Structure 1
Amino acid sequence: MNKRLLWFAITPALLFTGIAVAQQYPMMDMVADKLVQRYQQSSCEQLWQERAQKQGRPKSEREQQAVQLLHDDPQMRAAFISKVAAPIANKMFECGMLP
């Protein structure tokens, strides 16, 4: 009985924490969702072509600002990586881009 009561007490707190992180960085959340969606909807051929085109090309000013923001804010960086890492890594593995 005590375990059930503890579970009902902890579950809302965990859900609230997840919502609070999403609300803390709404723009990062939107960018992360868009990035994950792009990887999930792209074919392996498209991803290989994009990778080849990006080599040697400098990042846009907007991309540089986003990367700098992630460098400057460790909490935002952790939230971003935890959101995008698994879906992107899975797609890259499927496409033979990871060993």
Structure 2
Amino acid sequence: MATRLRWLAIVAVVLFGTAAIAQYPILDMVAGKVVQKYQGSSCEQLWQERAQKNGQPKSEREQQAVQMLHNDPQMRAAFIDKVAAPIANKLFECGMIP
């Protein structure tokens, strides 16, 4: 009985996880580009970009994307799940977070 429940739980996690991934194909593409940008940038490039962006307003497209994430908690969670670990690792490697 416990084995059946365990298998049902695993199947449910896989199905719901797959559904969440397929739910936002554009978000997947954007998240992939964000991760690629961080992984493909040197630490020096990230430091320079950080210094240049301080105080600069976001583009209209960037503002719209952020607003969508504010308005849709599920989309926001899916995006953060995709980008958080790779970005945090890169920032840690570069000494940008403790």
Q: CA deviation at 1:13?
A: 2.4
Shift of 1:12: 2.9
What is the SS of the residue equivalent to 1:58?
Answer: coil
Separation in 2, partners of 1:30, 1:2: 39
Q: Deviations over 1:33-62 (max 9, x none)?
A: 110111111110111111111112110000
CA RMSD in angstroms, aligned pairs only: 1.5
Q: Does 1:97 align with 2:96?
A: yes
User: Secondary structure at 1:32's aligned position in 2?
Assistant: helix
Letter in 2 for 1:93: F
Aligned length: 98
Identify the residue that residue 76 of structure 1 maps to in structure 2.
75
Deviation at 1:8, TM superposition (A): 3.7
Kindly provide the amino acid, as one letter, of the partner of residue 83 in structure 2.
V
TM-score, L = length of structure 1:
0.88
Q: Distance in 1 between matches of 2:93 and 2:47?
A: 12
Q: Percent identity?
A: 69
Moved segments of 4+, more than 3 Å: 5-10
Partner of 1:28: 27
Q: What stretches of structure 2 of length at least 5 have no aligned partner?
A: none
